[in-house]
Amino acid sequence: MPGSGGRAHPKNAKEMEKAIAKTKKDIQKTGDNTIDVADQIIDTGAEVNAKLAAQTEQLEAARRDNKEIKENTKAAEGSVDRLESCCCLSVCYACFCCDYKPPPKVSEFKYDKEEEAKGRGKDEGEAEALRKKQQEIANAKEHLKEIREDKNIDADVKHDEIVDAQLDVVNAQLDVVNDLAHHQQEELEHQHDVIVGVNKDLKENQDAIRQLDARAKAVAAQY
């Protein structure tokens, strides 16, 4: 049929209007579904990031504990050094043949306080930026709602404005999703660095304690 291009045409103008109206509804429905899915992604991403942050805190606490153990082990090594060098420690704690002094008191452990403060400041800054972007989403959704409820807008114009407003919401959501993904990647990389440090310190502490125990037993066997 001439001019058909192989496509079926509505039988009359009324059917054409119905088809156009349905298409517009489908477009708007797709936009709403996209907004809902993006909301779910944001909620899930925020939940995952919160769990990752909690895990990081636990790992950093373990790292601090390992560092403190290392400091205490060094103090204990000082005591063993003096035991090994003193010839009459089994009899007295101060004599003329050696200069024995009690082991140094381990001061309060302050590991990476500046680093932790910087980390907290960075986290607070990122959280504030995220809150602002989430407010932008809320504002875009409110604008979309206002357009839908406005009865003074021509139907064709209203459809175009609704679609534009939906796109504004989705763009704001994608901005937040991108930030959440970026923060998640940063957190995972930071966790990896912390875990590597924890494992390294743990092995060093185990080796140092074994050596210290062997030295202490050797000293004890002499008396």
Q: Count of CB atoms within 10 A of residue 135's CB?
A: 11
Examine residue 15 and state whether it is found in any structural domain, yes or no: no
Type of residue found at 64: R
Which two three-digit tokens encode residue 181? 């993904």
Examine residue 65 and state whether it is found in any structural domain, yes or no: no
Examine residue 177 and state whether it is found in any structural domain, yes or no: yes
* DSSP conformation letters of the chain: -TT-TT----SSHHHHHHHHHHHHHHHHHHHHHHHHHHHHHHHHHHHHHHHHHHHHHHHHHHHHHHHHHHHHHHHHHHHHHHHHH-SSTTT-SS-SS----PPPPPPPP--SHHHHHHHHHHHHHHHHHHHHHHHHHHHHHHHHHHHHH-TTS-HHHHHHHHHHHHHHHHHHHHHHHHHHHHHHHHHHHHHHHHHHHHHHHHHHHHHHHHHHHHHHHHHHHT-
Examine residue 122 and state whether it is found in any structural domain, yes or no: yes
Q: What is the pLDDT of residue 108?
A: 46
Mean pLDDT by runs of 10 across the 223 residues of the chain is 52 81 92 96 94 91 87 81 64 49 50 64 83 95 95 89 96 95 92 90 90 83 71
Q: How many domains does the chain have?
A: 1
Examine residue 37 and state whether it is found in any structural domain, yes or no: no
Q: What is the pLDDT of residue 11?
A: 65
Examine residue 89 and state whether it is found in any structural domain, yes or no: no
Q: What is the pLDDT of residue 88?
A: 53
Which two three-digit tokens encode residue 122? 């960075």
Burial per residue of 195-210, b for 16 or more beta-carbon CB atoms within 10 angstroms, e otherwise: eebbeebbeebeebee
Examine residue 130 and state whether it is found in any structural domain, yes or no: yes
Compute the distance between CA of residue 43 and CA of residue 41 in angstroms, rounded to an integer. Answer: 6
Residue numbers of the domain that contains 122: 113-223
Type of residue found at 75: A
Examine residue 161 and state whether it is found in any structural domain, yes or no: yes
